[in-house]
Amino acid sequence: MHRITVLDEGYVRLVDVMGSDLTVVNAARVSYSKESKELTERDVRLIKFLAREGHSSPFRHALAQFEIYAPLMVARQWHKYIIGSSHQEAVGDSMNAWNESSRRYITEEPAFYIPNPDEWRSAPANSKQGSGDPINRDDAYAFSLQLEDYIKQGEGLYAHAIEYGICAEQARLFLPAYGMYVRWYWTASLQSVCHFLAQRLEHDAQVEIQLYAKAVLTLIESKFPVSIGELIPVKEA
């Protein structure tokens, strides 16, 4: 399995992987001029030690590359890990690359995330962010219809601007932004991927990005089973 569908039209695709748990082990042992040819119990103990003691650099020698198609509201939350990776002492220089499609250059048919009626959530009672319980289904159905109408109006204005000859980089101003799907490549070290997962798999993360994080985890956990098991400990339900 290399691709998982998320939300209505989104997905996460595992494009490429460089390395394995053995890569982490050999990166750690190079200072002693040692190298393992296959993963042993001794190597597993080393990975556990590295994760437990916060020795993060060996985990930056393994890389994963993903293609992601997600609403802009998810993409912008995700992108904070790229901007902040070189400024957070705990994460260090975690090796991230991000290349995103741009409507300055393309005019493909836009796609938008429209929550199903049972997906609209209320504001939380005791927090300034996040979400609470589902709202009344009849009201939710009305909000879905209103969002559909809003998107159709924006698409119509966008198409008219393109047909008139307005440049694509300005015509896109007519498109509703936050629910519009964008596509990007994300290449990151194993350390950086696990940092993202550890935070966005939390129960209080935005639901939509949680779903994408679960897809990333499903695609990558078999590639680095020991390292991911230590860097992202399973939480009790």
Q: Residue 209 CA to chain centroid, in angstroms?
A: 7
Cα angle vertex 106, ends 101, 112, to 5°? 70
Q: Is residue 112 part of a domain?
A: no
142, 68: one domain: no
Of 133, 159, 174, the one marking the end of a domain is 174
> What average pLDDT does the segment 207-234 reach?
93
Given 60, 172, 183, 200, which residue is catalytic? 200
Please count the other Cβ atoms lying within 10 Å of the Cβ belonging to residue 126: 6
37, 131: one domain: no
Of 174, 197, 218, the one marking the end of a domain is 174
Q: What SS3 class is residue 184?
A: strand
Give the domain CATH number at 218.
3.30.1360.170
Q: What is the mean pLDDT of the chain?
A: 87
Pairing of strands 181-189, 3-6: unpaired
Give the whole-angstrom CA distance, residue 231 versus residue 193.
10
223, 137: one domain: no
- Quick check: 149 pLDDT over 90? yes
Q: Is residue 189 part of a domain?
A: yes
CA distances (Å), origin 105, targets 67, 97, 102: 19, 20, 6
52, 92: one domain: yes
> What average pLDDT does the segment 62-83 reach?
89
Active site residue 183: no
Read off the pLDDT band of 89 (50, 70, 90).
very low
30, 90: one domain: yes
194, 223: one domain: yes
Domain encompassing residue 156 = 117-174
126, 29: one domain: no
Residues forming a β-bridge with 3 = 13
Read off the pLDDT band of 106 (50, 70, 90).
low
Read off the pLDDT band of 177 (50, 70, 90).
confident
Of 133, 150, 174, the one marking the end of a domain is 174
**DSSP 8-state secondary structure symbol assigned to residue 17:** E
> What average pLDDT does the segment 80-106 reach?
61
> What average pLDDT does the segment 92-118 reach?
74
89, 193: one domain: yes
Number of folded domains that form the chain: 2
215: buried, middle or exposed (CB in 10 Å: 19+, 13-18, 0-12)?
Answer: buried
Q: Is residue 58 part of a domain?
A: yes
> What average pLDDT does the segment 43-60 reach?
92
Read off the pLDDT band of 17 (50, 70, 90).
very high
- Quick check: 116 pLDDT over 50? yes
Q: What pLDDT is recorded for position 88?
A: 47
Q: Is residue 110 part of a domain?
A: no
23, 133: one domain: no
Read off the pLDDT band of 228 (50, 70, 90).
very high
**Does residue 177 or residue 25 have the better pLDDT?**
25
Q: Is residue 143 part of a domain?
A: yes
Give the whole-angstrom CA distance, residue 185 versus residue 197.
17
Query: Structure tokens of 45?
Result: 């103990």
